[in-house]
Amino acid sequence: MQQGLSQKGMTRIPGTGVFKYPYKELDGQYRTGLDPNAMYIRRIGDPTEREIEVERVTALKDKLERALNIELGPRSKFWNSALSTSTEDVLHVQPVKLLDGDNYFDLSIPLQELAFAWLRVHPTIASSYQAWERGEFPAETQYYVADEDIENQVTFKKKQRINKCIVKFDSMTPEKKRKIARMLGLPVTDDSKEEAVYVQVDNLLKQTEFKSGKYQGLSTVEVFERFADMKENLLHIKDVVKQAIQHSIYRVRNSGRIYEGEYEVAVDEEALIKYLADDEHQDDLITLEQKLKAKKLAAV
C-alpha cells in the first residue's frame, strides 16, 4: 500500500489525514502564534526575524480578539480543546485535520486565520521548506508552511537593514572604517586600502551571520551596529587593545586573563578596556599606543 501511494505522490489514503491540536509548552502555556512573549520567539536568533514576528503576532492577536470577541492569551481556556462541546463550539479551539498535499486557509475568515496562526508555529510543522532542508526540523516532519508574504517580508527587512549599514559605513572616515573592520575580526591593517576594507565589510554584512570566530552565530548587522554606534573614544580603546593582543604586546591565557610578559594586566579584555577608559589611567593608554606604534614600525 505504501509503495502504491508513493507512486501517486501520496503518503496516506485519500481523505485520511492528521489531526493537529495547539501545542502546550512545559510551563502550561499554549503556543498560539499570537503571543509576542512566547518562548519560540525569544529563541529566534536573528534580530530582524524576531522583530517581524513580534510585530506580526501582536497585531494579529488584537485583530482576532476583536473579530471573535474571545480572550486569546496563551493561558486562555479557549485553547483547551478538551472543553469543546461540539465541532460548532466557537468558544474553544477545534482540531485541524491536515490532508495529504496542500492545505489552504482562507485568511479572510477569522477562525481559519486563527487556525493558521497556531499551526504555523506548531513544532511538528516546519516554518518553511528551506528550514526543513537545513535540518531545523526532524526529517520525518510531514508538513511545512508556505507563506510567501512572510518570507518576502523577512528578506526585505534583512536587505534593508544591511543596506542601511553599508550606507552608514560608507560615510565613515577611512580610519574609523579600519577600526570597525578590525572589531568585526577582519584582517585589516593601517596600510589596508579603503576600497579593500569596504569590500571586506560589505561581504561580511551580506553573510547575515558570522561563520566563525568570537561572534560565531551572531548577526553580522547587529554586531556592526554595536560598534558603529559606539562612542569614538571607547571604539578607539577597544581597537588599541585588540591590536596590542594581535601584535603580542599582550597575551591572553586560556583563563582569559591578560598578561604583559609575566605580569598580569587584567582579569579579561573587558576589564582592561574599562581600566584604560578611566580618565585617571590615560597615561597608561598613551604608553600602550606608543608601544603599539613601535611594534608596527619594527614589523615593517
**Which pLDDT tens digits describe the chain residue by residue (300 residues)?**
455 545 555 455 554 578 999 999 999 999 999 999 999 899 887 777 888 899 999 999 999 999 999 999 999 999 999 988 888 888 899 999 998 888 999 989 999 999 999 999 999 998 888 778 888 888 888 888 887 776 677 778 888 889 999 999 999 999 999 999 999 999 999 889 999 999 999 999 998 889 888 898 888 998 999 999 999 999 999 999 999 999 999 999 999 999 999 999 999 999 999 999 999 999 999 999 999 999 888 765
The count of C-alpha atoms lying within 13 angstroms of the C-alpha of 113, restricted to the half-sphere facing its C-beta, is 16
Predicted pLDDT at 299:
62
**Pairing verdict, β 17-20 and 96-99:** antiparallel
Q: What is the pTM of this model?
A: 0.58
Cross-strand bridge partners of residue 69: none
Q: What is the pLDDT of residues 200-247, one digit of tens each?
A: 999 999 988 898 888 988 889 989 999 999 999 999 999 999 999 999
C-alpha torsion angle, residues 272, 273, 275, 280 (rounded to 10)? 140
What pLDDT, on a 0 to 100 scale, did the predictor assign at position 143? 87
**Can you give the pLDDT at residue 2?**
52
Any bridge partners for residue 264, and if so which? 259
pLDDT of residue 52: 86
Q: Tell me, what's the pLDDT at 237?
A: 93
Question: What local confidence, expressed as pLDDT, does residue 1 receive?
Answer: 45
Judge whether 57 and 41 are in contact, CB under 8 Å. yes
Strand partners, 263: 260
Residue 127: predicted pLDDT: 84
Contact between 92 and 80 (Cβ < 8 Å):
yes
- What the chain holds in terms of domains, given with CATH numbers, is 2-146 (no CATH), 159-229 (no CATH), 231-300 (3.30.250)
User: What single DSSP character describes residue 219?
Assistant: B
- Cα–Cα distances in Å, from 246 out to 28, 235, 249? 50, 16, 8
